[in-house]
Amino acid sequence: MKDVTIIPTETTEISSKSMIQVCRHSLFQAPSSSIADISDPSPKRAYTRIGLYKGNIVAIRFLRRRTVDLTRSIRKELKQIREIRHENLIPFIGASVDHGHVAIFTAYCARGSLDDVLANEDIRLDNMFISSLVTDILKGMIYLHDSEIISHGNLRPSNCLIDSRWVLQISDFGLHEFKGNLYESDAKELKKALYRAPELLRNPLPPARGTQKGDVYSFGIVLFEILGCSGPWGNTELSHLEIINQVKKIDFESPFRPPLECLEAADYIVKCIKACWHEEPDHRPDIRYVRVRLKEMQAGLKPNIFDNMLAIMEKYAYNLEGLIQERTNQLTEEKKKTDALLHRMLPKSVAESLKKGDQVEAEIFDCVTIYFSDIVGFTELSANSTPLQVIDLLNDLYTCFDSIISHYDVYKVETIGDAYMVVSGLPIRNGDRHAGEIASMALHLLNEIKKFEIKHKEGEVLQLRIGIHSGHCVAGVVGLKMPRYCLFGDTVNTASRMESSGEAFKIHISHATFILLQRLGGYICEERGVIPIKGKGEMRTYWLVGEDSAQRMARIREEIIESSFSSSINSDRLSETPDLLRGPGFNLGYSFEKDIPSSSVCPFFSLHQRARMAWSAHQSQEKIRGDDLHSCQELSSRPYSKAYRYHSYNFRNPRSAPVIKFTTDSQIQI
């Protein structure tokens, strides 16, 4: 053992579908790296214990023996196995008889055993792989039966090792007296017995080296496992002990064997397996005749083993390419889902900056419109309901609201209890259209809340109170842990005061918002008068009561036509809408290509389709948004206030606007 350097490893039983490949140095060629590099103390992962002997990687199998007396018979065994040289038999390197370190050294196969390959779901065994593996087993067993070792006695997939060139090499043969009586755990002994011939199971003192007919039986079990890839006895509910007891029973007519009905194999293979499993050992074919009966499996294989190996490696490479492409597609799909979810929580521009690790700078918006709403009497309603009922109520309510606001060019900032906050005009500026978007959305929500049903309070109606204000504000991301997109400014404070000083089932708007809506046209407002507003003094306010749907549709048509030439709404904005927020696709028949270039029609109609479907149910309350609007900097010249600060943790990306469809005669189709 003093000439062997043990390489620290994390020996792993491969139970997953990923096969580990390490230490793939040739046994007969020293690696280019130094011994110090190879014997790096950092742990590696391997299929078995490995060491370095004369510059080559060797597999080490320690025996549960303290000492070994080198008797004449043991020396003869060592000489016999030392002289064994075949491409399909594992090369014997040597043995250690040091006290307490009795071990056997063989060549190390980097790809593990046949058992590992069959358990690896990433490797698909096609006919070329199977025929090559079966041929290697047969050639190795034929040589073994013709040698002085006579038989194997313990043939199973775990003893069929595969090197880095995908050549199968049989191991664990010979040296029976040197190994002694190796007693393993009951579970391992029972698993080994699944491959043993019935006559050997019945024999209380079977020969250590087994029999040649017993090897033929074991080969039949291994061939069944290679073809079925479901274990030595298929998908059975019997335990190992129950299977062994059934096999021991003498039954020449119908002996207990693995099921062949579900095996997808040619008839000549099935007949050969049955012959190998014959209850009478003398009626089983010898290993040479088994190779003759399975010769048809080798059709298409090259006679030269090296060329055949290259062909197998080429197939393996193609298999890996397909596997990598499949995994790449799965990763891409998962990334799309993750990005879509992220874009629902943060604006796309903000999310992309945070993903890159960049700092998101705060931004000033000259004019936006902010919407606040809450439920009148929500505190009393919560007191008379269980916590689960309150959560269900808010979930149903906000789901309804979220589905409505997705039809408008707005951004949901957050929800706090029964309060609902929405803004238009940020983070993507939309000119001066923000007042119309919020106003139309508010009318839509007010109409929908009247039809909303409380599941646990039948007959009761939620009373929504809405406030709207327009002005300037600052928006930015605050914090690094769970970052939130926040709004700051006096506009936020005033919009909240519009809501708190309003009335149930009414939309309370400020004078700044009223002026913008008058410029847009189509919105019906009633003056409320001058009222005291907490923290603001006296303000002139108005009630928003309705809108002209025909004027709104006409305005949308003008926006579509103008945007097709001025690119005011570009394709980037359309692509920013997360897929999770988009409804199913519609087959739209566009019929006014005379007015709009065909290359720009589809994106804008896709953008507005959802709003047309939603607004058609209550067209009488629709509003118009007209020609180009102007900036409203002069309407909100008050200094910023830090009294109100709203965080956003339930976000969506405001990249949608209403959808309509026009015919060639400029008639609106709803």
What is the secondary structure of 100-114 as a DSSP string? TEEEEEEEPPTT-BH
At residue 302 the predicted structure's pLDDT band, cuts being 50, 70 and 90, is: low
List, as own/partner pairs, every contact residues 310-319 make where C-beta atoms lie below 8 angstroms and the sequence separation is at least 24, other chains included.
Answer: 311/128, 312/128, 312/129, 312/132, 312/166, 313/165, 313/166, 315/126, 315/128, 315/129, 316/123, 316/129, 316/166, 319/123, 319/124
Confirm if 646 and 487 have CB atoms less than 8 A apart.
yes
Query: Could you give the CA distance from residue 413 to residue 489 in angstroms, rounded to a whole number?
Result: 14
Tell which residue, 303, 297, 299, has the closest CA to residue 270: 297
Query: Could you give the CA distance from residue 242 to residue 119 in angstroms, rounded to a whole number?
Result: 24
Fold of 4-301: Transferase(Phosphotransferase); domain 1 (1.10.510)
Residues 6+ apart with CB under 8 A from 518: 525
Predicted confidence at residue 646, as pLDDT, reads 37
Query: Could you give the CA distance from residue 21 to residue 30 in angstroms, rounded to a whole number?
Result: 18
Secondary structure letter of residue 668 according to DSSP: E
Predicted confidence at residue 306, as pLDDT, reads 61
Give the mean model confidence (pLDDT) for residues 181-196: 80
At residue 611 the predicted structure's pLDDT band, cuts being 50, 70 and 90, is: very low
Predicted confidence at residue 338, as pLDDT, reads 84
Residue 182 CA: distances (Å) to CA of 62, 208, 467, 554: 11, 11, 85, 91
Tell which residue, 230, 103, 218, 214, has the closest CA to residue 160: 218
The correct CATH number of 346-669 out of 3.30.70.1230, 3.40.50.720, 1.20.120.790, 3.40.50.150 is 3.30.70.1230
Residues 6+ apart with CB under 8 A from 446: 464, 466, 505, 507
Query: Could you give the CA distance from residue 116 to residue 120 in angstroms, rounded to a whole number?
Result: 6
Residue 25 CA: distances (Å) to CA of 82, 108, 549, 602, 643: 22, 9, 78, 60, 70
The pLDDT of residue 584 is above 60 = no
Predicted confidence at residue 34, as pLDDT, reads 36
Mean pLDDT of the chain: 76
Q: Do domains 4-301 and 346-669 have the same CATH topology?
A: no
The pLDDT of residue 626 is above 50 = no
Give the mean model confidence (pLDDT) for residues 595-624: 42
Q: State pTM to two decimals.
A: 0.47
Predicted confidence at residue 17, as pLDDT, reads 35
Would you call 485 exposed, middle or buried from its count of C-beta atoms within 10 A (0-12, 13-18, 19+)?
A: buried
At residue 378 the predicted structure's pLDDT band, cuts being 50, 70 and 90, is: confident
Report cis status (omega within 30 of 0) of the bond before 41: no
- Please report, for the chain, the start and end positions of each structural domain, with discontinuous segments joined by +: 4-301, 346-669
At residue 186 the predicted structure's pLDDT band, cuts being 50, 70 and 90, is: confident
Predicted confidence at residue 277, as pLDDT, reads 93
Give the mean model confidence (pLDDT) for residues 660-670: 40
Residue 517 CA: distances (Å) to CA of 365, 411, 432, 500, 529: 19, 19, 10, 21, 17
Please write the tens of the pLDDT for every residue from 392-434: 888 888 888 888 888 888 888 888 878 889 999 888 888 778 8
Q: Which residues pair with 411 in a beta bridge?
A: 423
Predicted confidence at residue 40, as pLDDT, reads 41
Residue 669 main-chain phi, psi, to 5 deg: -110, 125
- Residue 256 tokens, joined: 């207990």
Per DSSP, the three-state class of 5 is strand
Query: Could you give the CA distance from residue 446 to residue 605 in angstroms, rounded to a whole number?
Result: 26
How many C-beta atoms lie closer than 10 Å to residue 252's C-beta? 9
The pLDDT of residue 652 is above 60 = no
